[in-house]
Amino acid sequence: MANVVVVGAQWGDEGKGKIVDWLSERADVIARFQGGHNAGHTLVIDGKVFKLNALPSGVVRGGKLSVIGNGVVLDPWHLVKEIDSIRVQGVEITPETLMIAENTPLILPIHGELDRAREEAASKGAKIGTTGRGIGPAYEDKVGRRSVRVADLADDATLVARVDRALLHHDALRRGLGLEPVDRDGLLASLREIAPEILKYAGPVWKVLNEKRRSGKRILFEGAQGALLDIDFGTYPYVTSSNVIAGQAATGTGMGPGAIDFVLGIVKAYTTRVGEGPFPTELHDEDGQRLGERGREFGTVTGRKRRCGWFDAVLVRQTCVTSGVNGISLTKLDVLDGFETIRICTGYELDGAVLDHLPIAAEQQARCTPIYEEMEGWTESTEGARSWNDLPGAAVKYVRRIEELIGCPVALLSTSPEREDTILVTDPFVD
Ligand code: GDP
Ligand code: IMO
Ligand code: MG
């Protein structure tokens, strides 16, 4: 049976949540494998809006197993709040429907404080524009071997030792930033209080997922962020602190690399970015404003206005390679309705040379000038289209040109925020 990985192929907010929710009808298990509650995924089902950060977007379907893998960093207090808030919307989460990997590192309040204090202290060019949710510091502690992990919540002596180990490092850091030392007893008390709320979902995710796979169940791996925010292949240092590309689905859950049968890259029909960093096709004119307004481009997590620009085929061609994308889901095509002409970036000019990829040095990335080709727009509406035949000729041409330039076929097409406004071209689950 096919297992599918969904990854963002730009700078995040491509519409992964909607597509994961739509595809989860065909899946048995939906697993997050990286990132944390820096993700903001919006689903719209019959007009009802669901906003998810840490929970996999499959939870809304009911009757599926949702999984938080070890590659995630988890804020336990946020998770409990998120579970409560979607319960109010009629979605019940139980230990039968949610499993959290025991080896998942926790995000503690000190991580968020450190994240925000660093951003405040940074000079303009040094700011990353993080979500302020402690993602970077939590991953630093994981690699530094001083995380408190889910399993540590089960034994008080271990918990105390893990917290003391972490504080040795953090108190020194905090002194340098002019922050008060950590309230150790307060932190321990809140961890002890939240522990049972998290432990009831804890389990050996690697084992359960491999058993599910062997028994023919279909697993849908849900990526957060986007490949250009990947810690290795993104626009470093303006990136998030995890591997975002598809290979992470295996390490972030404990599956072998052979478990991945199809990689679906989610691609917006134009480009957006939240936070700092290079963005070659960014628009500062009326077209950019129009994309932002029509696409309602405001961050789900921080409410920040997203930067908008034309479709960049160079970047997507590159991320399709680093993630091994088999097919893309093109989203928000409807936002381009009514543009007289549409531009696509096909290469960059840098110091008199033409480049077919984004150079790795941040300084060079910032100086790349896009080379555009222009296409005719369409006046008809594509909003809500549910079949290929409903699309105007010029929109079909635009989609075909994107496929050609990025070297990857369209498997799905999304034409509105609503779950059912989706056109299936190739089913990623059919092997
Ligand atoms: P994610 O982080 O990749 O899950 O994406 P977000 O949820 O942050 O942002 C995507 C936004 O676009 C959400 O508000 C979705 O409801 C919306 N959306 C998704 N697909 C489409 C589409 O095809 N057309 C339009 N107009 N909106 C869409
Ligand atoms: P979803 O899953 C868009 C960006 C932040 C910042 C950088 C680092 O909704 O697509 P972090 O808090 O991760 O240390 O911030 O990464 N960022 C996102 N941008 N969508 C996201 O997630 C993002 N998650 C992080 O804006 O530039
Ligand atoms: Mg988002």
* Residue 168 and residue 208 share a domain: no
- Classify residue 229: in a domain, yes or no: yes
Q: How far, in Å, from the CA of 87 to the mean position of ligand 2?
A: 26
Q: Looking at 142, 170, 212, 268, which residue is catalytic?
A: 142
Residue 397 forms part of a structural domain: yes
**Of 37, 113, 119, 131, which is best to mutate to test ligand 2, by the most ligand atoms within 8 angstroms of its C-beta?**
131
Which residue minimizes the CA distance to atom 8 of ligand 1? 13
What pLDDT shows up at residue 431? 61
Q: Which of 240, 263, 286 is the last residue of a domain?
A: 263
Q: What is the pTM of this model?
A: 0.97
On whether residue 205 sits in a domain, the answer given is: yes
- Same domain membership, residue 292 and residue 217: no
Q: Is 41 annotated as a binding residue?
A: yes
pLDDT for 85: 96
Amino acid identity, position 50: F
Q: How far is the CA of 221 from the centre of ligand 1 (A)?
A: 18
Residue 431 lies in a domain: no
Measured from CB, residues less than 6 Å from any atom of ligand 1 are 8, 12-18, 40-42, 44, 300, 331-332, 334-335, 414-417
For ligand 1, atom 28, the nearest C-alpha belongs to 417
Helices (H), ranges, 244-312: 248-251, 286-294
Of the candidates 107, 206, 109, the residue with the CA atom closest to the CA atom of residue 149:
107
Residue 300: per-residue pLDDT:
79
253 and 209, same structural domain?
yes
39-45-50 Cα angle (round to 5): 35
Write the CATH number for 129.
1.10.300.10
Q: Does residue 329 have a known ligand-binding role?
A: no
Q: Which ligand is nearest to the CA of 35?
A: 2
Residues 153, 61, single domain; the answer is no
Q: Do residues 168 and 254 share a domain?
A: no
CA distance 68 to 105: 11
Last residue of a domain, one of 210, 235, 263: 263
What are the C-alpha distances in Å from 122 to residues 13, 17, 335, 348, 428?
26, 32, 35, 30, 43
What is d(CA 44, CA 35) in angstroms, rounded to the nearest whole number?
22
CA of 35 to the centre of ligand 2 (A): 9
Inside any domain, residue 228: yes
CA-to-CA distance for 57 and 60, rounded, in angstroms?
7
Burial of 342-361, coded b for 16+ CB within 10 Å and e otherwise, reads bbbbbbbebeeeeeeebeee
Q: Are residues 127 and 180 in the same domain?
A: yes
- Domain check: are 258 and 274 in the same one? no
Specify the number of domains making up the chain.
Answer: 3
Pair (22, 131) in one structural domain: no
Dist. CA 269 → ligand 1 center (Å): 11
Q: Are residues 98 and 140 in the same domain?
A: no
pLDDT at 303: 85
Nearest atom within ligand 1 for CA of residue 335: 26
Q: How far apart are CA 275 and CA 113, in angstroms?
A: 18
Ligand 2 centroid from CA 213, angstroms? 31
240 C-beta closer than 6 A to ligand 2: yes
Q: Establish whether residue 130 lines the binding site of ligand 2, counting it when its CB lies within 6 angstroms of any ligand atom.
A: yes
* Domain at 319, CATH number: 3.90.170.10
Same domain flag for 334 and 234: no
pLDDT digits (tens, 9 = 90+) for 309-360: 999 999 999 999 999 999 999 999 999 999 999 999 999 999 999 999 999 9
Please report the atom of ligand 2 found closest to the CA of residue 13.
Answer: 10
What crossing angle do the helices spanning 393-406 and 313-322 adopt, rounded to 10°? 50
Q: Is residue 154 part of a domain?
A: yes
What CATH number has the domain bearing residue 249?
3.40.440.10
pLDDT tens per residue, range 138-192: 999 999 999 999 999 999 999 999 999 999 999 999 999 999 999 999 999 999 9
Residue 325 lies in a domain: yes
What is the Cα gyration radius of the chain? 21
* CA distance linking residue 170 with residue 172, whole number of Å: 5
277 and 364 both lie in a single domain: yes
Q: Which ligand is nearest to the CA of 223?
A: 2
Shared domain for 378 and 273, answered yes or no, is yes
List 203's β-bridge partners, or say none.
101
Could you tell me the mean pLDDT of each successive run of 10 residues in the chain, 431 residues long? 93 97 96 97 94 95 94 98 96 96 98 96 91 98 98 98 98 94 98 98 98 96 98 97 98 96 98 97 97 93 92 98 98 98 98 96 95 98 96 98 98 96 95 61
The residue from 37, 41, 64, 170 that is catalytic is 41
Measured over the CA atoms of residue 329, residue 264, residue 96 and residue 84, the dihedral's sign is negative
In this prediction, residue 422 carries a pLDDT of 97
Task: Verify whether ligand 2 is closer than 6 Å to residue 220 (CB atom).
Answer: no
What is the pLDDT at residue 125?
A: 81
Asked, for residue 256, whether it belongs to a domain, the answer is yes
Q: Which atom of ligand 2 is nearest to the CA of 41?
A: 9
Which residue range(s) make up the domain with 277? 266-424
Is 13 an annotated catalytic residue? Answer: yes
Say whether 38 counts as a known binding-site residue.
yes
- Ligand number, closest to the Cα atom of 334: 1
